[in-house]
Structure 1
Amino acid sequence: MCKHCELFGTTAAADKPFVKRGVQLGTHPTRKLLSHSNSKYHKFSVERYTLAKSSINVYRQLQIKDAHKKASNRSALKKIFKCLDFVIKQKWAVTENAEKFIKFVANIGVVDLQAFLSSSSVTYLSSSSITEMVMCLSDYLEREVLTDLSGKEFSLLADESSDISNRSQMSVMIRCGSADGIESVRTFFMGFVQLEKGTAECITNSLETFLLGKNINVANIRFSGFDGCNTMSGVQKGVQRRVQHVSPFSVYINCRNHRLALCLAHLIKRFPLLQDVDTTLLSLWKLFEFSPQKLAVFKHIQAVYGKDPLTITRAAATRWLSHLQASARFISRYVCILDTLDAIYAEKREPEIRGIRQNVTDKNIVATVLLLCDILKPVNMLSLYLQEENVNFTSLPERVKVTIDSLTSLVAIYRRYSGNLVNSETEFAKCDQLFLEIDDRTALERRMRQNNLDLTPDAFLEETGIPLVYELVQEIEDAFNHGDPVLNAFGFFNPQNLPENVSDLPEYGNASIQRLVAFYGSPKTDIFNGHTTNVPALMNPVQLETELKSVKVQLYMLSVIDFKIFEMLMYTLHSQV
């Protein structure tokens, strides 16, 4: 028997000699042994025997190969996660751009990512895989945020809206100080809260449950910011009142931009002409937005006049600050709009087109649009300031004063150039030209029937325009001149409010210091619906007063040093020139 063939042979040899049965060597043993050793079967068995004796471990080789493949896949997945993180931070649509961006990165020389995408049957680029990876990133980042927020005092920002399925929900954001010193204040988006009802009680309970579920102590709320509706800002039973009961040291800040938008919205009740303007601008936008054929006619007529083909800008009905761009676009393409309406009406005779054209040629409406182009410019500047990420609300009264001064100076310009508005360098200066255009395009019998036949730009300003500006100024003053005393006291920290003379420094900000000491240095008791909340003082009043008085000296020293450095730089620059 041949042990190599017996132990390492194949099962195909059912009755081979030396394998399954013994062989008698007889008189020629050497010849038989050589014949068997040179056979293919014996050589195959010896080869298997040799491999079996080697030090190569097949299981270990498989493990090494799997480990190498895992490392390669993990390296590729890390790059995919980094690409997703970049797409998210750029605020791009993830589901639409992620796959394209990842393939782009792979094709610019990232070898391992390119090899992974080309060789692997699973590339993790499907919408479900990308969504799952985004959720993993969300969980990871949320854990970091919640760790950073643990035990910190913070500001709560919340706003209610409806999603695409018309479900009521609230977006929640938190602002707090940074411990790493890289950013002084950081803003975190915490998520959406689904609301069963729109009542103040339901909203407050949903907010508390949401924050407690993330292990955030609601008693650490120091400032809360909501919109101006009664449900959120009500002082008796609104959300801000209920939050103040949970955290008596919280100070409510009404959304200033929302308050500014309401100033213009309130004017509609006293000036119905504003509603007519809004209806005209919106109907004109719908006319071209939902009809490519009519939009093509409008663009063709603009090209005939040698102007860039532009579309009508939408004026949001609930956001009157968007009317500046819509009004400016209406005036800049007024003649083209009239020609377009005439061409479309001559072809189809649609009553809708006739009604829109009648409104567009109404002198009161056109004059109001011109007036909005002037008065909304300073108002929009204030709005853009309020939309900045880091707004210094202690400087807000100064910004409001600049806006009010701009509006009142606009009235002075109108009256100074009365009878000669063409030279006033305002948008309303175009009123005479547009009125002549309206008269040229309006039939005599129709002009005789219109009530505004004798309307002039000066008459419109005296009857409607100037009273509207004064009403807007009064609305802005009422909306912004009444702030929380504690918030106003923080203006003490604004270096721009420091006195010019050092002799006035001891008396500077004493009232604000006392206000802050009284608020943060005394315990609070709050009673709401029969429930009482008692909290101790946040700070020692004596120590707080001492530190605040020393702070104003330091602020003054820093301002003086900065001014002297500025003087030195200007002197150096002047000497070099």
Structure 2
Amino acid sequence: MSKKRITDFFGKTCAEKASSTVTNDAQSDCTIVPSLKSNENETADEPGPSKKFKPSTFQSSWKKDRPWLDVNEKGEMICNYCIDNKMTNTFTTGCTNFRTSTLTRHVATTDHKLSVLAKTESKSLEKTVQNVVSQQEGAVTSAIDTVYWLAKENIATEKYSSLLELLEKEGCSNVKNLNVGGNASYRSTTIAQEIQQAIADTLMADIINEMKGSFCAAILTDESTDISVTGKLIVYVRFVTKDFELKSHFLGNFNIGEKDATTITDKLVTILTERGIPAEKILCLGSDGASVMTGVKNGVAAQLKRLSPFLINIHCVAHRLALCTSQAASKLDIMQQYKSTLTSLYYYFKGSSVRSSRLAKIQDLFEQPQIKMREMHDIRWFSFYNVLEGIYKSWSALIIYFDSTELSKDPKATGLRKSLLQYKFPAMTWFLMDIIPIITALNLVFQKDSLDVAVIKPIVSSTISKLEYLKCNEGHYKQEFKRLLNDGNKLFDHELSYKIQQEQMVEFAMENFIDKLIENMKKRFPDDSVSVISAFDVLAMRDLSFVPPSEVDIYGLEKLDVLLGHYSQPRGDPEVPGIVDEQATRNEYSLLKPLVLQQKYPRDQLAVLWKIIFECHRDQFPNLLKLASIALTLPVQTAI
């Protein structure tokens, strides 16, 4: 049997594949005899008086017990068996001698007998082929499962063949059946790659079909450069399905060459067009806030708005928070010096397994946690917490390590020991342990899959309040540091240098750092203005239960006006009609508020609340459901 392509196992039913295989094989193998001419005159009229009983048309009752008999479009009798076997006789061209005796004579002909024999052999072959296809189908399914498992476990595709050998050795019968069909064994790396592509194509087709059925979608994108210095554009999509389920999917990592706004825009439009997604369906764009994305006149967002007038651009909240921290630290020399010392520590131990092993032994000896030195990244300031925690828990072990090192032979160790024993280094470490965990906790919230726009404002306000508390009060770790100082100048019996000169410097730096953090957060997460993005939290109604009954009617109307101002008015050139009806939306919102209160619907997650409303009241709130779909797809963070 000829080898089948892997893609034949996607998009066809087993019955269709079996039928296709049987037809091809039957045509090549089953027509084993040449057509034999019959000398019988099948259409000769009956002699004598029988002519007056000749029926004028075909009688359907004649087909009983004659499965080969049929009538063509002209009403003439034909023999399907003879036609299938490529015979040439009256019953293949059409017979008009409507007599049962004509049928009897045809059954006795050599042509018909050979055709019946070929039909019988064909059925036997079909059964045989179906058995082979069934075995091969199970084997190929096992091969597909194997390739899928390798991909899920991040194991190289080159291990596919050896894994099949292991499965066969362990008695997996389906894998043994991969050898059915001679040379079609489906065991090569090429086959594994073909299976991978078939799986990817099938999954992507499902994603695109779901996306096409959604009301709107968001694009989350970022540009980068690969190892060959080729510009890349990574693209995710986010949408609410027709069943009101929020989904986020990886769409691809595409080559773009140049990374200017026009090239990126053209690439995004091409990606959408090739997949049959209209550009106007994209109502949100999430990015890292780079000028190429957010440029007012010719940025990617501005160019996409010409195709989708209701599109809004969102600067990822995690990126915004990272900028708040990095910019606050960049203005303080003492912070840059501290970071430089951390980086030097990392590379000192990274370059030698002997040093790392020796430090681990010291940590173990003094019953301290074995924490490795971690790298500090400028663009990932939240990796700073892991680095900071490592220093906080290992400072004493580090000093012991350097004290036990022959410093005369290791100038790097001499410099690091001196830096670690300056008062400002441990003081900064303990003081930052009060500040950085607060920012890290906020960052972790921002990276949750379930994050919705209604969460941002309260969690940012809470974070700012915690930072403002530290301006006026000593945190836990700052108090601990002061308790640990013995004789006013020793930490864990290690004497610190320059305490008098550096004490005020550290205090000033920490106050300045907190002030800059708060200032940047208020600037990048403004509390006093209502934008289209922040207005969407009106759909969450989290604080509705605390509103006095007399004020329920006016609750949320200000933010609703902002949403309607953007989505209910025509936009673009030529003008595109609004997405929602303004008055109908207002009416729906006035009905929704008492309904949510009476039914006590959960409001801790926007997606959960609107899934309930969709399932129970979709006909009552069509306009609000459109706004809720947009709210859920908003890419408030791109850290998917």
For the superposition of Structure 1 and Structure 2, which TM-score range results when normalised by the shorter chain? 0.7 to 0.9
Aligned residue among 493, 497, 508 for 2:539: 493
**Could you tell me which residue of structure 2 aligns to residue 574 of structure 1?**
none
**Could you tell me which residue of structure 2 aligns to residue 507 of structure 1?**
554
Between the aligned partners of 1:228 and 1:108, the Cα distance in structure 2 is: 54
Q: Is the 1:225–1:255 Cα contact (8 Å) retained in structure 2?
A: yes
Q: 1:239 to 1:561 in 2, by over 3 A?
A: closer
SS of equivalent to 1:515: helix
Q: More helix by proportion, 1 or 2?
A: 1
Q: Is the 1:276–1:365 Cα contact (8 Å) retained in structure 2?
A: no
Aligned residue among 170, 176, 186 for 2:233: 170
**Could you tell me which residue of structure 2 aligns to residue 139 of structure 1?**
201
1:5-42 CA-to-partner distances (Å, cap 9, x unmatched) read xxxxxxxxxxxxxxxxxxxxxxxxxxxxxxxxxxxxxx
Q: Is the 2:142–2:175 Cα contact (8 Å) retained in structure 1?
A: yes
Deviation of the 1:509 alpha carbon: 1.2
Q: Is the 2:140–2:178 Cα contact (8 Å) retained in structure 1?
A: no
**Could you tell me which residue of structure 1 aligns to residue 222 of structure 2?**
159
Between the aligned partners of 1:121 and 1:335, the Cα distance in structure 2 is: 67
1:355 aligns with 2:415: yes
**Could you tell me which residue of structure 2 aligns to residue 265 of structure 1?**
326
SS of equivalent to 1:287: helix
Deviation of the 1:517 alpha carbon: 2.1
Deviation of the 1:125 alpha carbon: 4.9
Deviation of the 1:221 alpha carbon: 1.1
Aligned residue among 564, 568, 572 for 1:517: 564
Q: Is the 2:334–2:509 Cα contact (8 Å) retained in structure 1?
A: no
Q: Which runs of 5 or more residues in structure 2 are unaligned?
A: 1-116, 605-640
Counterparts of 1:487-566 in structure 2, within 5 Å, are: 487-498=533-544, 499-525=546-572, 532=573, 534-559=575-600
1:368 aligns with 2:409: no
**Could you tell me which residue of structure 1 aligns to residue 308 of structure 2?**
247
**Could you tell me which residue of structure 2 aligns to residue 72 of structure 1?**
135
Q: 1:195 to 1:363 in 2, by over 3 A?
A: farther
**Could you tell me which residue of structure 1 aligns to residue 518 of structure 2?**
473
Amino acid aligned to 1:480: F
Q: Is the 1:493–1:552 Cα contact (8 Å) retained in structure 2?
A: no
Deviation of the 1:302 alpha carbon: 1.9
Between the aligned partners of 2:601 and 2:346, the Cα distance in structure 1 is: 55
Between the aligned partners of 1:319 and 1:82, the Cα distance in structure 2 is: 38
SS of equivalent to 1:246: coil
Deviation of the 1:355 alpha carbon: 2.6
Q: Is the 2:222–2:234 Cα contact (8 Å) retained in structure 1?
A: yes
Deviation of the 1:344 alpha carbon: 4.2
TM-score (norm 2): 0.68
Q: 1:515 to 1:102 in 2, by over 3 A?
A: farther
Q: Is the 2:442–2:460 Cα contact (8 Å) retained in structure 1?
A: yes
Deviation of the 1:539 alpha carbon: 2.3
Amino acid aligned to 1:475: N
Q: 1:507 to 1:292 in 2, by over 3 A?
A: same
Counterparts of 1:90-489 in structure 2, within 5 Å, are: 90=152, 92-93=154-155, 95=157, 110-113=172-175, 116=178, 124-150=186-212, 152=214, 153-181=216-244, 184-346=245-407, 349-414=409-474, 424=479, 436-437=490-491, 440=494, 452-455=498-501, 459-460=504-505, 462-481=507-526, 485-489=531-535
Deviation of the 1:69 alpha carbon: 3.3
1:165-205 CA-to-partner distances (Å, cap 9, x unmatched) read 33221111111111245xx2111211112122122222112
Which 10-residue stretch deviates more, 480-489 or 432-441? 432-441
SS of equivalent to 2:552: helix
Q: Is the 2:454–2:536 Cα contact (8 Å) retained in structure 1?
A: yes
SS of equivalent to 2:227: coil
Amino acid aligned to 1:139: D
Runs of 4+ in 1 over 6 A off after TM superposition: 54-63, 99-109, 117-122, 431-434, 560-563
Q: 1:121 to 1:179 in 2, by over 3 A?
A: same
Q: 1:135 to 1:264 in 2, by over 3 A?
A: same
Structural RMSD (CA): 3.4
Q: Which runs of 5 or more residues in structure 1 are unaligned?
A: 1-53, 526-531, 564-577
Between the aligned partners of 2:227 and 2:482, the Cα distance in structure 1 is: 41
SS of equivalent to 2:600: helix
Deviation of the 1:317 alpha carbon: 2.4
Q: Is the 2:360–2:370 Cα contact (8 Å) retained in structure 1?
A: yes
Deviation of the 1:523 alpha carbon: 0.4
Deviation of the 1:114 alpha carbon: 5.6
Q: 1:242 to 1:315 in 2, by over 3 A?
A: same
Q: Is the 1:263–1:476 Cα contact (8 Å) retained in structure 2?
A: yes
Deviation of the 1:478 alpha carbon: 1.2
Identity %: 20
Which 10-residue stretch deviates more, 56-65 or 374-383? 56-65
Amino acid aligned to 1:167: T
1:244-267 CA-to-partner distances (Å, cap 9, x unmatched) read 222110111110000100111102
Which 10-residue stretch deviates more, 129-138 or 78-87? 78-87
Amino acid aligned to 1:311: K
Deviation of the 1:292 alpha carbon: 1.4
Q: 1:440 to 1:516 in 2, by over 3 A?
A: closer
Deviation of the 1:508 alpha carbon: 0.7
Q: 1:60 to 1:496 in 2, by over 3 A?
A: closer
Which 10-residue stretch deviates more, 292-301 or 476-485? 476-485
TM-score (norm 1): 0.75
- The number of residue pairs the alignment matches comes to 485
Deviation of the 1:283 alpha carbon: 1.9
Between the aligned partners of 1:119 and 1:287, the Cα distance in structure 2 is: 60
Which 10-residue stretch deviates more, 327-336 or 148-157? 148-157
